């Protein structure tokens, strides 16, 4: 069974509620704790991050890979601990003692939320300035060593527990809310005092109703699932688990696009009901029915039934057509395009507009940028999404073989020709989309025939005389500058302008470096890898030029995963290690050619010391430290030197209290 990785991030190292989560849901979760105080150097790669407060959430956001879910955990007391608190006489002044003041405040907040209003609760501070001589009672969560010695009555409440509402949220975030986990949650809820009794009543009602409904659904022969207005699965029976067990172990809250391919998703997105729609999954055919549920005129969800086809031969024309078009399906859509870069988002917006039209499209981009991903997405977002998608690389064949593959041939056209002839790819793509990759490689004589197909939407097979009308959209792609090829007479100008109705240029990875963390997160998740990712390696990734673009990044990560020796620079592919050595050599030589390399190195050392001490350092203090080493610089002189170091990527300049921080490159330059 897949185990979801859950990171628990605290200001200081404490493991209390990790034990509770491991005891309850260790079967489903791999839990790991982090401490801001001890330092967090990698990017934390997890399915869900848990923090104790909103203040901590703001601090730890920078340590998480993009798109990581973050949840603030609410905590409560055990029933026994709550009874001990209630035993304290009313109106008593009570010291609430934790490791540090902020945690004392959180404990007081939980007590107030539980209705403890009969006590005067005072947060403990160990700053040495506060006295508590007049207080005889203290409440502490396993921190009795911090309680002042004169306190006579110590109420030990033990570790605070994760509240049932937060446990529910955690399961919901991880799509783990099923009959088994609900039963575990129900079993443990009596051990704690709920922060919201109303939530517990609602959950118990939900638990009982769903139990009865689950029994009813499991009696059906068909696979059944219900979904909400956002096309996320809510309830399902055992038959559905059997259908999709190889795809996903837990389906609750799972969106359609994680279990169905893009073709079926486009069908399910229709407003109307669906009757006996056939689809293939894991080499088997199924019939799908969908019924929407409406509130007034708004669709609030619905249900789907799925039944396996008993015999392919006994099915209707739909199955015959599906077998004919087998292999000619586009599996990607625009949700598959990963990244937040503005250039990329504009490209996606243009591609979506192009998809709504019936015009031909030319896509330009370097190798490895994801041109086919865009092509398939355009097809699946168009009115032709239910038709075939045919992809062909124009560099794969030449001459007569290329011509017969594209346009087909009649019987007896040449030696070895099939009896009754053969359909060409344009005919197969009828009522759909044909994707011509590396269009620049088509010979000049075939360009003429292709132009006729584009203009007239009809073709003549090789060796034939009959004109065959076709209804097909053409999307062409190239990794070359096609207009330059037109200028040097290697590509027909009329064909170029006929193809180039919509021109979509896919940005290279080096033009969207800010997307690299998103792509790393996506590819690691795709491989189900939860290892943390070092800052130093991510920094190198964002400075590397990626001549192979996204394909090279994916291959690099796959190489390191298969090598299984960790995400370190030493484990990069050999060609990238050579590039890394060149960068290191160049940076070291750059600092040597500065006007004052010794001063620059000393400044870096001061910044390194501040980094290790988790403190900030400003220009005035840097100037004072330099003077103690007999190097006298004004604040302006320090500023100038820092600008030079920042230009080399060795320091990061910030406004306000954050000041200047040394970067990973700066640390590496000093041999750290």
DSSP string, 39-88: ---EEB--SEEEESSHHHHHHHGGGBPTT-EEEEPPEE-BHHHHHHHHTS
pLDDT digits (tens, 9 = 90+) for 535-579: 778 878 887 889 999 999 999 999 999 988 889 888 899 888 877
- Distances from the Cα of 302 to the Cα of 226, 268, 276, 442, 555, angstroms: 6, 11, 16, 49, 41
Residue 295 bridge partners (DSSP): 298
Instruction: DSSP letter for 619, please.
Output: H
Residue 293 bridge partners (DSSP): 301
The Cα–Cα gap between 46 and 49 comes to: 7
* DSSP secondary structure letters along 232-258: BEEEE-HHHHHHHTTT-S--TT-BGGG
In words, the CATH class of domain 334-505 is alpha beta
What pLDDT is attached to residue 99? 77
Instruction: DSSP letter for 370, please.
Output: -
What pLDDT is attached to residue 198? 47
| Closest CA relative to residue 65, chosen from 544, 600, 531 | 531
pLDDT digits (tens, 9 = 90+) for 17-46: 788 888 888 888 999 988 887 888 788 999
Among left, alpha and beta (phi > 0; psi -120 to 50; other), residue 183 is alpha
| Closest CA relative to residue 270, chosen from 223, 316, 231, 314 | 231
CATH for the 220-324 domain, from 3.40.50.1220, 2.60.40.1890, 3.30.450.20, 3.40.50.300? 3.30.450.20
Show Cβ contacts of residue 51 under 8 Å, excluding neighbours closer than 6 positions: 8, 9, 10, 57, 60, 70, 71, 72, 73
Chain center to CA of 437: 28
The Cα–Cα gap between 24 and 613 comes to: 38
Specify whether the CB–CB gap between 451 and 494 falls below 8 A.
Answer: yes
What is the widest separation between alpha-carbon atoms in the chain? 108
What pLDDT is attached to residue 312? 37
Pairing relationship of beta strands 284-295 and 298-308 according to DSSP bridges: antiparallel
- What are the two backbone dihedrals, phi and then psi, of residue 383, each rounded to the nearest 5 degrees? -70, -10
In words, the CATH class of domain 510-572 is mainly alpha
The Cα–Cα gap between 68 and 254 comes to: 16
What pLDDT is attached to residue 191? 77
Show Cβ contacts of residue 613 under 8 Å, excluding neighbours closer than 6 positions: none
| Closest CA relative to residue 224, chosen from 176, 286, 180 | 286
pLDDT digits (tens, 9 = 90+) for 658-668: 568 888 777 77
Quote the crossing angle between the two packed helices 179-188 and 197-218, to the nearest 10°: 150
The Cα–Cα gap between 427 and 469 comes to: 9
Instruction: DSSP letter for 335, please.
Output: G
- What are the two backbone dihedrals, phi and then psi, of residue 542, each rounded to the nearest 5 degrees? -80, -10
Contacts 24+ apart (CB under 8 A), 202-205: 203/164, 203/168
The Cα–Cα gap between 161 and 74 comes to: 9
The Cα–Cα gap between 144 and 152 comes to: 12
pTM: 0.63
Instruction: DSSP letter for 173, please.
Output: H
CATH for the 4-73+164-188 domain, from 1.25.40, 3.40.50, 2.60.40, 1.10.3300? 3.40.50
**Sign of the C-alpha dihedral, residues 440, 442, 445, 450?**
negative
* DSSP secondary structure letters along 114-154: TT--SSEEEE---SSS---TT--EEEESS-GGGS-TT--EE
Strand order in the sheet with 233-236: 233-236, 223-228, 298-308, 284-295, 274-281
Instruction: Give the domain 587-669 fold.
Output: Arc Repressor Mutant, subunit A (1.10.10)
- Distances from the Cα of 470 to the Cα of 166, 320, 336, 394, 406, angstroms: 58, 21, 30, 20, 13
Residue 418 bridge partners (DSSP): none
What pLDDT is attached to residue 321? 43
What pLDDT is attached to residue 600? 80
What pLDDT is attached to residue 334? 92
Show Cβ contacts of residue 638 under 8 Å, excluding neighbours closer than 6 positions: 603, 619, 622, 623, 626
Please list the ranges in the chain whose pLDDT falls under 50.
198-208, 248-249, 311-326, 593
| Closest CA relative to residue 337, chosen from 515, 553, 552 | 515
The Cα–Cα gap between 541 and 587 comes to: 16
The Cα–Cα gap between 136 and 166 comes to: 34
């Amino acid at each position: 069974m897949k185990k979801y990785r859950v990171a628990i991030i605290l200001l200081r190292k404490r493991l209390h509620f990790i034990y509770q989560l491991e005891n309850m849901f260790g079967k489903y979760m791999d839990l790991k704790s982090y401490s801001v105080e001890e330092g967090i150097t990698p990017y934390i790669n997890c399915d869900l991050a848990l923090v104790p407060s909103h203040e901590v959430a703001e601090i730890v956001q920078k340590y998480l890979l993009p798109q990581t879910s973050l949840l603030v955990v609410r905590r409560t007391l055990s029933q026994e601990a709550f009874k001990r608190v209630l035993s304290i006489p009313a109106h008593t002044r009570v010291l609430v003692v934790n490791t540090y003041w902020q945690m004392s405040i959180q404990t007081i907040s939980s007590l107030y939320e539980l209705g403890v209003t009969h006590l005067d609760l005072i947060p403990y501070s160990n700053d040495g300035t506060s006295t508590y001589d007049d207080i005889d009672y203290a409440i502490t969560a396993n921190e009795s060593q911090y309680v002042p010695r004169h306190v006579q009555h110590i109420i030990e409440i033990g570790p605070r527990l994760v509240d049932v509402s937060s446990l529910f949220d955690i399961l919901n975030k991880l799509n783990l809310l099923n009959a088994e986990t609900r039963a575990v949650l129900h079993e443990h809820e009596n051990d704690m005092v709920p922060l919201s009794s109303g939530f517990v009543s609602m959950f118990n009602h939900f638990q009982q109703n769903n139990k009865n409904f689950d029994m009813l659904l499991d009696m059906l022969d068909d696979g059944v699932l219900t979904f909400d207005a956002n096309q996320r699965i809510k309830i399902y029976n055992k038959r559905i688990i059997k259908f999709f067990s190889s795809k996903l172990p837990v389906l609750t809250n799972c969106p359609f696009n994680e279990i169905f391919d893009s073709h079926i998703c486009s069908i399910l997105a229709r407003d109307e009901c669906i009757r006996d729609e056939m689809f293939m999954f894991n080499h088997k055919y199924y019939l799908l029915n969908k019924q929407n549920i409406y509130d007034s005129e708004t669709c609030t969800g619905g249900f789907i039934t799925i039944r396996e086809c008993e015999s392919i031969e006994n099915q209707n024309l739909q199955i015959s057509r599906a077998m004919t078009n087998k292999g000619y399906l586009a599996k990607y859509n625009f949700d598959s395009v990963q990244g937040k870069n503005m250039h990329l988002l504009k490209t996606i917006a243009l591609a979506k507009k192009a998809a709504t039209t019936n015009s031909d499209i030319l896509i330009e981009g370097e190798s490895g940028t994801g041109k086919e991903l865009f092509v398939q997405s355009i097809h699946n977002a168009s009115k032709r999404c239910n038709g075939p998608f045919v992809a062909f690389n124009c560099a794969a064949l030449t001459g007569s073989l290329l011509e017969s593959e594209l346009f087909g041939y009649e019987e007896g056209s040449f030696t070895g020709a099939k009896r009754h002839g053969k359909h060409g790819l344009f005919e197969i793509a009828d009522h759909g989309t044909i994707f011509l990759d590396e269009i620049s490689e088509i010979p000049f004589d075939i360009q003429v025939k292709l132009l006729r197909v584009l203009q007239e939407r009809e073709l003549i097979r090789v060796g034939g005389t009959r004109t065959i009308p076709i209804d097909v959209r053409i999307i062409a792609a190239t990794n070359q500058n096609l207009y330059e090829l037109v200028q040097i007479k290697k590509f027909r100008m009329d064909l170029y302008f006929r193809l180039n109705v919509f021109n979509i240029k896919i940005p290279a990875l080096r033009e969207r470096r800010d997307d690299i963390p998103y792509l790393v997160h996506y590819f690691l998740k795709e491989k189900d890898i939860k290892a943390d990712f070092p800052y130093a390696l991510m920094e190198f990734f964002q400075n590397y030029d990626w001549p192979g673009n996204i394909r090279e990044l994916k291959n690099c990560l796959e190489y390191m995963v298969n090598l299984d020796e960790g995400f370190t620079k030493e484990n990069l592919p050999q060609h990238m290690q050579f590039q890394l050595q060149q960068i290191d050599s160049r940076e070291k030589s750059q600092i040597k050619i500065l006007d004052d390399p010794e001063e620059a190195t000393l400044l870096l050392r001061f910044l390194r010391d501040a980094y290790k001490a988790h403190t900030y350092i400003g220009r005035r203090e840097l100037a004072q430290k330099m003077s103690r080493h007999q190097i006298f610089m004004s604040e302006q002189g320090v500023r100038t030197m820092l600008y030079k170091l920042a230009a080399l990527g060795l320091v990061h300049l910030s406004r306000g209290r954050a000041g200047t921080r040394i970067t990973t490159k700066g640390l590496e330059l000093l041999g750290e």
